[in-house]
Structure 1
Amino acid sequence: MSRRVAEEMGLTEQEVSYQIRFEGNTTDRTKIKFMTDGVLLKEIETDFLLNKYSVIIIDEAHERSVYTDILIGLLSRIVPLRHKRRRPLKLVIMSATLRVEDFTANRRLFKVTPPVVKVESRQFPVTVHWNKRTPSDYVGEAFKKACKIHRTLPDGGVLIFVTGQNEVNDIIRRLKKAFPYKPPSKQEVKKKAREAPDASNESTSAEKMPELTEEEEEAIFFNPKLKRQKKSKAAADLPEINLDSYAIQPPAEEGEDLLEGSDVDPDDLEEEDDEAERAAAAAPGAAHQPLYVLPLYAMLSTERQAQVFQPPPAGTRLCVVATNVAETSLTIPGIKYVVDTGKVKQKLYEKTTGVSAFQVMWESQAAANQRAGRAGRVAPGHCYRLFSSALFNDEMERFARPEIQRKPVEDVLLQMKAMHVDRVTNFPFPTPPDAAQLRAAEERLLQLGALERPETDAGGAADAETHVTPLGRAMSCFPVSARFAKMLVLSEQHGLLPFTVCLVAALTVQEVLLENPLTAGDSDKAKQLWGEWMTLRRSWAGTGDSLLLGDSMVLIRAVGAAEYSGCTPEFCQRYGLRLKAMKEIRKLRVQLTNQINLVVPSAAAAVDPRQPPPSEPQCRLLRQVLLAGLPDHVARRVEPDEIKNAEDRPKWKGAYRCTSIEEPVFLHRGSVLKREAPQFVVYQEIYETNKLYMRGVTAIEPEWLATLCPGQCTLSKPLQEPPPDYDPVSGRVRCHVNATFGRAVWPLPPVEAEYPAGLDRYRLFAVHLLQGHVCPSLLEFVKVLLAPPATMTKSWARLHPRTDSFLKTLVAETCDNRDRLLEVWRSRPQYLLSAYKEWVPEVLHEKLDKMWPPCAKSPEL
């Protein structure tokens, strides 16, 4: 985009630049800068008033991503602040299908209603055709409609909208079978080149050549090699029409026929009841020109995506089968017919549990209008909607729900808390998240240690009093989710950082490991290839702690193997890796490493393309790091004897139970831990198809839960056996307790923990202090104490002045551990002296005066 604008304005790339997540080319001479919403949000963190900008334009605002909503909310406050300082900032929010009321009627967002400017777009009229009935098999109906268009209507590209990659491949396979296209062989190409007339005789004067459309110029601009080919074909392929002679507004549905000179009325393509006609539509089209069919979806490699912008081979019709990535801001040259199934696949999240599910649903009316507009970019076009107008009016929402209301918002909450927006409920969102989302997000961040609530507000209201911790502030520096950010923060020890960076990058990118081998419908070959992939992945997982690291270990080894081999397409295809994902992981590793070096310069992190896999001890530590970052993503295997009802046993066979979900969840078929079925696991996410499945599974030990997930555990009273004891390393009194995990109250093995706060902890600390365990220099006085130290724990201890005085002195300064005691002694050296003198004979008081505080005589303290 920046290159195109620079070219049209006659400027250089130093003046029109870009900045995206992984790269940029901005300079001191930059006047226009294209960037993503996330990049601008990061800039606001360091320069809240955006002093180096005079105009901010937010395009495609109707997509309503989370960061766009936050950005608009912040800019609604920045603009008036800049105006008061007499350095005005102009904010322009643009969209073709925006719900304007969210902005103009939102007084919290804009106190003064902003002006609304409507600009007529340069688009040719599009005739919309409806199905009389809405079919259940929309994929089959889309195939039949494409066949009819190709058989009966004049030239023009066809764009088919479906919901996902599998549907794209299904329609492409059927269309290629019905209208096959065979690329010319090398011999045929050479023969045509020899028979072609001399190039000098083909040249024509410039004034005889018809003008190229804007989209064709764009294709040539991004692919200069097309320029010569385009010029030589222009006279034959391009119609001689004046692109400015058409009305901008599309006519009504019952208006004129847009295909002048055609013997076929486009309305004849409406749904018919004649079964013979349906069969004819699906019959092979040997008598018709070939169909040049291309896919377009987000997971497709960049090179294959770019093919849709190149002109189709001579004598063929272009047909693009796409997901909703082709819906906005993407113009495919030559598209004249759009087939809209009306369906879209969205990733939905349950607000409180965070369970995700890809669900196929009806698109919004705004999205349907966007899809129809794809047919009117280069010439008058037609949009065939495979649903009825009644369904469009009665069942489709006018606009899609904003992303901020469809997914967990803990990352948003942490980001805003780090930007000192303490009361997020008062933030001017265009469409605010609901209270349940904020409460669930706050609870997750409290469990992660990113937020804390003052002790005076232990049960406080959602979001009202919490504030970000130093850990949370460090986590907010990384451009990943809060869970992964905590993993990075904890990994600066034991040489774990390179592995955690690699793992976080791989977990952040979607679909790194392929699960559906593409073998042109050959199911036996697909099963064989899938078996080879799984055998390789199990070998990558290894044994011992390496195997228990599970799917995370497979990702680390996959990234390492790809980098070692040079990340070639052949390697990725052979071993079931998605090439585009591997390239994204490489960029994200570099970005995270640079960010770590900025935040923690002493880390001196670097990306090693030949990084060896982690050792067994490191694998064990990585399992603990994963648990610390996913404390609420723990699942426990269900034993057969736990299911009392015999009818439910088949349902729970091989299942796991999560803390926040009542339904059974299962290990994904691609998990290397499926055979081992460990008792406790952590998972990256749960998604729903016909069942609930866990993705990204790692085995953990149950005794880790109380230490690494304290917010999820409920501890019993201290056990008498083994008795509480003093820990010389931490300087605190510790004990053994029984523990349960989560709301499901899963029993855990007895664990060692710090003794619960209260008077008993002060009494036990006093015992160890008197015994010389806290300050070894007091050991010489133990034998002459006037009472046994254990007297401090007796029920009648308060009846003795010395025990009562010693306890009250410790409580007064909250000294129930060694660190706090040393801190008080640094400010008050005589603290506790008089209380301790009551425990020793008077003859030793002078000696105590000279040596007090006892830490001075204990170098180890």
Structure 2
Amino acid sequence: MAEEEPKKKRARLNTNGQSTKSNWNEQYEKLRQERTQLPIYPSKQTLIEEVEKVDTAIVIGETGSGKTTQIPQYLLETRLNRGAIIAVTQPRRVAAITIAQRVAQEKRSELGGLVGYCVRFEDVTSETTKIKYMTDGMLLREAILDPILKRYSVVILDEAHERTIHTDVLFGVVKAAQRKRKTSGMKPLKILVMSATMDVNHFSDYFNNAPILYLEGRQYPVELLYACEPQSDYLYASLVTLFKIHKQEPPGKDVLIFLTGQEEIESAVLSIRDLARDTHNDLPPMVVCPLYAALPSYLQLRVFEPTPKGSRKVIVSTNIAETSITIPGIRFVIDSGVVKAKVFNPGSGLDLLKVVRVSRAQATQRMGRAGREAPGACYCLYTEEEHDAFRANTLPEILRCNLSSIVLQLLALGITDIVNFDFMDKPSVESIVNALDQLHRLGAVEKTDKIKLTPTGKKMAAFPLDPRLSKTILVSKDFHCSEEILSIVSMLSVESVFFTPQNKRDAALAARKKFVSSEGDTVTLLNIYKAYKSARGDKHWCFENYINRRNMKMALQVRKQLREITQKQNLPLKSCGVDTTAIRDLTVIDPDWLYEAAPTYFKKRKPAAIT
């Protein structure tokens, strides 16, 4: 589902959090020199001339060439935005925020002034903002209220190779807005599609044979080293490769290892630390940092800390480090060649996380992490023949996920002919029919001569949730437990609130026993939410109970947002108090509503109360 309109955050943040005006001149001069050294800089004039000629262009440039930070500035400096806003979309909120901070520094502007960002719960923009970084879900949400996107003169769709479900829908929406503005005689909408790796011909064909602009060169070279033979155990191979690098290379050159998920990463981190203690004393010390989405913020931030002198930092990460963030100091990348991908089975109606081979596009992105700040090397734990056999590009999410949220979103946009919507890669008819059937069972659509939203469906579309969770909130008023359902749904809408270090698994499970309810996992989550509220979000309470504080804070924000939407829908907000019978009565109406919509950690077993 697209993201809900955020509350305006009237933040006047300093561009780097600590800088004062006295050192801005020195900092600005350093940034200016760095900008001129980027590979994109020599092509600036040619790029602007080519973009000026066309309505749509496909821009391909190596990782680290400066596309994302520089092109919006070039457009602004040459006034190609015609006084309107330049929107730059990103698949992930962390990328939108960090890139906006960097560009604000380069423009010598306070964040939220000339340069701002808009993500869920945060709108750091103002009336003077001309470069706006945002998640694709936020722009999609804006399109519901303004289908022609009249506030914008340029839309830059960045990291297009990732092909998230929101990005794919946004392609069709932006393309339609461009066409409508052209036929109605309005100011044209310019579209730039950018990536380091994508099927350029496929994108060009989709955008009416748009020209392809290539940016030559990368900032620093990266040496590619493939395995001599296929590796049966990529985890073991990654450890062997790491210690080979550690033995041969001087300290200060940090290593980034790509693995698939939390448990695998925690296991690898423990093994690396154990092996490092057993190695010879003449080797430099190792600082080992895990990195994955469910990791608490204070531990995630460790990857950005400077490496102690004479040591080597090793980051073991999921694909979150593929494109979203740049970690300083990385000189070597170890690519396992695998990733966890969500796959939806229309027959069973379940989302599954499967370990699959990366695409060649993903492999190229991973390789590029080694050449951001200096020459580097990428150790590929697969042969060159295996690499050539990878898919050229990542399978679009729209072809492997549940479409009910997107179909509801398109209907809310006024698009009723879903089958013939202008998707870049059309999902199967079976997936679309499955989504429509699910929405029909939920009472969101009615099937007459054409598909259209019911009044209930319009209310469901207002929530940035899976339709099953939206319907759960709507019917909770009849069971007099709206407040509790809002809390449960909020907990289900964020990453896992449980933090279970592998070396303290027993302690974590014992600490959380006090929250466990025989009435099911939904009530367990409600108990955790209530306890967190009672502790007023105390970080020591979270630490003692092995609860992810960042995700709990996010759940509070989600709940606040959902409660506001519920009030706008004029739905009564009632509480069932300590008697949770109403919650059980509600969830047994359709036992799959909460279960199927829940995150992976919740799917280890069905809650007892809804089986």
TM-score normalised to structure 1 length: 0.57
Cα deviation, 1:777-797, whole Å, max 9, x if unaligned, reads xxxxxxxxxxxxxxxxxxxxx
Aligned length: 509
1:101 aligns with one of 193, 201, 205 = 201
**For the structure 1 residues 384 and 307, does the alpha-carbon distance in structure 2 shift closer, same or farther, using more than 3 Å as the test?**
same
Residues 1:533 and 2:512 aligned together: yes
Residues 1:570 and 2:522 aligned together: no
**Correspondences of 1:650-689 after superposition (within 5 Å):** 683-684=595-596
Q: Quick check: 2:362–2:393 contact (8 Å CA) kept in 1?
A: yes
Cα deviation, 1:416-470, whole Å, max 9, x if unaligned, reads 112221110111111111111111111111111111122xx7xxxxxxx322111
2:250 aligns with one of 154, 157, 163 = 154
Residues 1:599 and 2:578 aligned together: no
User: What is aligned with 1:172?
Assistant: 269
The alignment-based identity, stated in percent, is 32
Residues 1:288 and 2:283 aligned together: yes
C-alpha displacement of 1:304:
1.8
Cα deviation, 1:143-182, whole Å, max 9, x if unaligned, reads 11100101112341111111111222222222222334xx
C-alpha displacement of 1:613:
7.3
User: What is aligned with 2:483?
Assistant: 498
Given residue 438 of structure 1, which amino acid in structure 2 is its aligned partner? Answer: I
**Greater Cα offset, 351-360 or 404-413:** 351-360
Q: Quick check: 1:560–1:613 contact (8 Å CA) kept in 2?
A: no
**For the structure 1 residues 284 and 405, does the alpha-carbon distance in structure 2 shift closer, same or farther, using more than 3 Å as the test?**
same
C-alpha displacement of 1:66:
0.7
Following the alignment from structure 1 to structure 2, what is the Cα–Cα distance between the partners of residues 419 and 623?
A: 35
Given residue 285 of structure 2, which amino acid in structure 1 is its aligned partner? Answer: P
Structure 2 counterpart SS, 1:73: helix
User: What is aligned with 1:803?
Assistant: none
Q: CA RMSD in A?
A: 2.3
User: What is aligned with 1:39?
Assistant: 138
Residues 1:400 and 2:400 aligned together: no
Residues 1:120 and 2:120 aligned together: no
User: What is aligned with 2:192?
Assistant: 92
Following the alignment from structure 1 to structure 2, what is the Cα–Cα distance between the partners of residues 627 and 428?
A: 38
Which segments of 5 or more consecutive residues in structure 1 lack a partner in the other structure? Answer: 181-282, 458-464, 521-525, 542-546, 607-611, 635-681, 701-861
Cα deviation, 1:831-855, whole Å, max 9, x if unaligned, reads xxxxxxxxxxxxxxxxxxxxxxxxx
1:586 aligns with one of 536, 544, 556 = 556
Following the alignment from structure 1 to structure 2, what is the Cα–Cα distance between the partners of residues 686 and 588?
A: 15
User: What is aligned with 2:36?
Assistant: none
**For the structure 1 residues 484 and 686, does the alpha-carbon distance in structure 2 shift closer, same or farther, using more than 3 Å as the test?**
closer
Q: Quick check: 1:685–1:694 contact (8 Å CA) kept in 2?
A: no
Following the alignment from structure 1 to structure 2, what is the Cα–Cα distance between the partners of residues 76 and 177?
A: 54
User: What is aligned with 1:509?
Assistant: 494
Given residue 147 of structure 1, which amino acid in structure 2 is its aligned partner? Answer: F
2:415 aligns with one of 415, 418, 421 = 421
Structure 1 counterpart SS, 2:214: coil
C-alpha displacement of 1:626:
2.8
Cα deviation, 1:624-647, whole Å, max 9, x if unaligned, reads 33345x46x28xxxxxxxxxxxxx
**Correspondences of 1:598-747 after superposition (within 5 Å):** 598-600=568-570, 603=572, 614-616=577-579, 619-628=580-589, 630=590, 633=592, 683-684=595-596, 693-699=604-610
Given residue 519 of structure 1, which amino acid in structure 2 is its aligned partner? Answer: N
Following the alignment from structure 2 to structure 1, what is the Cα–Cα distance between the partners of residues 158 and 217?
A: 15
C-alpha displacement of 1:367:
0.8
Following the alignment from structure 1 to structure 2, what is the Cα–Cα distance between the partners of residues 687 and 582?
A: 14
Structure 2 counterpart SS, 1:117: strand
Q: Quick check: 1:684–1:695 contact (8 Å CA) kept in 2?
A: no
Following the alignment from structure 1 to structure 2, what is the Cα–Cα distance between the partners of residues 698 and 404?
A: 32
2:405 aligns with one of 408, 411, 420 = 411
Structure 1 counterpart SS, 2:414: coil
Q: Quick check: 2:220–2:374 contact (8 Å CA) kept in 1?
A: yes
Cα deviation, 1:467-490, whole Å, max 9, x if unaligned, reads 211101110000111001111222
Given residue 415 of structure 2, which amino acid in structure 1 is its aligned partner? Answer: V
Following the alignment from structure 1 to structure 2, what is the Cα–Cα distance between the partners of residues 81 and 431?
A: 22
C-alpha displacement of 1:52:
1.2
TM-score normalised to structure 2 length: 0.79
Q: Quick check: 2:147–2:413 contact (8 Å CA) kept in 1?
A: no
**Correspondences of 1:750-761 after superposition (within 5 Å):** none
C-alpha displacement of 1:697:
4.8
Structure 2 counterpart SS, 1:76: helix
Give the structure with higher Rg (CA).
Answer: 1
**Greater Cα offset, 425-434 or 17-26:** 17-26
Cα deviation, 1:262-285, whole Å, max 9, x if unaligned, reads xxxxxxxxxxxxxxxxxxxxx613
Q: Quick check: 1:684–1:694 contact (8 Å CA) kept in 2?
A: no
Q: Quick check: 2:408–2:461 contact (8 Å CA) kept in 1?
A: yes
Structure 2 counterpart SS, 1:159: strand
User: What is aligned with 2:529?
Assistant: 559
C-alpha displacement of 1:14:
2.5
Following the alignment from structure 1 to structure 2, what is the Cα–Cα distance between the partners of residues 699 and 76?
A: 44
Residues 1:518 and 2:497 aligned together: no
C-alpha displacement of 1:578:
2.0
User: What is aligned with 1:64?
Assistant: 163
**For the structure 1 residues 11 and 292, does the alpha-carbon distance in structure 2 shift closer, same or farther, using more than 3 Å as the test?**
same
Following the alignment from structure 2 to structure 1, what is the Cα–Cα distance between the partners of residues 440 and 274?
A: 56
Given residue 63 of structure 1, which amino acid in structure 2 is its aligned partner? Answer: E
User: What is aligned with 1:706?
Assistant: none
Following the alignment from structure 2 to structure 1, what is the Cα–Cα distance between the partners of residues 239 and 178?
A: 50
**For the structure 1 residues 373 and 386, does the alpha-carbon distance in structure 2 shift closer, same or farther, using more than 3 Å as the test?**
same
Cα deviation, 1:16-38, whole Å, max 9, x if unaligned, reads 22211112122222222221111
Q: Quick check: 2:351–2:402 contact (8 Å CA) kept in 1?
A: no
Following the alignment from structure 1 to structure 2, what is the Cα–Cα distance between the partners of residues 483 and 147?
A: 48
Q: Quick check: 2:468–2:597 contact (8 Å CA) kept in 1?
A: no
Cα deviation, 1:56-114, whole Å, max 9, x if unaligned, reads 111111111111111110111111211232311111111111222332223xxx3x311
1:78 aligns with one of 160, 172, 177 = 177
**Correspondences of 1:204-353 after superposition (within 5 Å):** 284-353=279-348
**For the structure 1 residues 685 and 588, does the alpha-carbon distance in structure 2 shift closer, same or farther, using more than 3 Å as the test?**
closer
C-alpha displacement of 1:121:
5.0
Q: Quick check: 2:260–2:339 contact (8 Å CA) kept in 1?
A: yes
C-alpha displacement of 1:528:
5.5
Structure 1 counterpart SS, 2:124: coil
Higher relative contact order (CA 8 A, sep 6+): 2
Which segments of 5 or more consecutive residues in structure 2 lack a partner in the other structure? Answer: 1-98
Structure 2 counterpart SS, 1:425: coil
**For the structure 1 residues 121 and 297, does the alpha-carbon distance in structure 2 shift closer, same or farther, using more than 3 Å as the test?**
farther
**For the structure 1 residues 30 and 597, does the alpha-carbon distance in structure 2 shift closer, same or farther, using more than 3 Å as the test?**
farther
Following the alignment from structure 1 to structure 2, what is the Cα–Cα distance between the partners of residues 18 and 613?
A: 39
Following the alignment from structure 1 to structure 2, what is the Cα–Cα distance between the partners of residues 345 and 469?
A: 37
Cα deviation, 1:669-704, whole Å, max 9, x if unaligned, reads xxxxxxxxxxxxx73469999xx953445337xxxx
